[in-house]
Amino acid sequence: MKRLFKFLAPVAVLAGGVAVWAVLDATKPEPEKKEEVSQAPSLFVEPVQRQEVTLKIRTQAEVKANTEVNVISQVSGMVEWVSPEYIEGGQFKAGETILRIDDADYKLSLKRAEARVAEAKTRVEQVEADAEVARRQLRGVKNPSALALKKPQLAEAKANLKAAEADLAQAQLNLKRTKISLPFDGRLKSISANIGQYIAQGSNVGRAFATDKVKLRLPLTDRQLASLNLPIGFVASEERTPLVKLKTNFAGQQREWDAELTRVDAAFDQSTRLVYAVAEVKNPYELSTPLAVGMYVSAEVYGDTISQALVVPRAALRANDRIFVVNDEKRLDVREVNVIDKSPERVLIEGAVQEGEMVIVSPLRNPTQGMAINILERNEQSKVQTATVAEDSANG
């Protein structure tokens, strides 16, 4: 009996425990079930607008003189005088003497040339008189020779006169060249001679540039050229001359100038694969703020005007020329568009999008077609920023 009790006691305890667990499990309360709520991202949107937009592109360039030359002496001699404007940056007029070479030797050469011309003229007159006498004397002679009629002698005398006159013209020209000037209004960029210095024929005495206009070679990409709707080899005309706005910081202030795009090169640069357009500014040194040679400026080139362009903020354009539209059901609609032009502020598009539709301008990770969107207005952003500033001020 004791053995049976020892065997059944543990079994009874185990069975009792199982029974208690079953009762507790059957009577435990059901866990509260919560419906999963999807969290739609809150994003800022902007409407698609129709606007009149003038297409423009941005580039940069250095201001260069349209005409820049080395000043070369055409005769040799000692410099006996220089103009007060013969300095770096000095201003001169067309034909104004900026440097003069000692002309004493050239005046003497001129006098000798004048004497030779006078002598040659006398010789021609003498031979003409001899020829007239010979013609009369040989009037009755049949077929007199040219030598007897003094024709070769007269031709020689006239040839010598022409040579003497050419020497005279050369002497006059050399004397004139002792006064060095340029055929345009301009400024001196550098000088390399001074009073008392001997310079040889062909010596460089400075470098100068014309001030009637300056030019800028504007580098353009193929896309920028397309935005301006300009062909390769374009030449401006009265009907079409694109406007160019030039800007730079000078003397602590923002400066602006108007220029005209006059032509586009007929070939691409092989090293950069860019094409260059030329803009010009007339009389740059007569402006209230001179546009000086050597300045580096930014340039905005204005192209065609589109009257009914679809415009979205630059932040709305996504990779692969896509935009994220929020439809009437506040669902994401990913659409591909054709980009006509873009700038850091806005994008001109065309395609399956209508004026007034809302496009997302906030960053969005892992977008999926049809996902729910919670729209935020710009005034809400302002409220959030204001509240944040107020809270920071209170904590401070």
Which class does domain 103-177 fall in?
A: mainly alpha
Distance CA 94, CA 27 (A): 114
Distance CA 185, CA 282 (A): 13
Distance CA 60, CA 48 (A): 31
CATH number belonging to the domain at 44-52+307-395, selected among 1.10.10.60, 2.130.10.10, 3.90.550.10, 2.40.420.20: 2.40.420.20
Distance CA 255, CA 44 (A): 37
The ranges of the chain annotated as CATH 2.40.30.170 are: 56-65+210-306
Fold of the domain built from segment(s) 56-65+210-306: Elongation Factor Tu (Ef-tu); domain 3 (2.40.30)
The ranges of the chain annotated as CATH 2.40.420.20 are: 44-52+307-395
Distance CA 199, CA 314 (A): 63
pLDDT tens series, the chain, 396 aa:
555 556 566 666 666 666 666 666 666 666 665 555 557 888 999 999 998 888 889 999 999 999 999 999 999 999 999 999 999 999 999 999 999 999 999 999 999 999 999 999 999 999 889 888 888 888 877 788 888 778 888 899 999 999 999 999 999 999 999 999 999 999 999 999 999 999 999 999 999 999 999 999 999 998 889 889 899 999 999 999 999 999 999 888 999 999 999 999 999 999 999 999 999 999 999 999 999 999 999 999 998 888 888 999 999 999 888 999 999 889 999 999 988 888 888 888 888 888 999 999 999 888 889 889 898 866 544 444 433 433 444 444
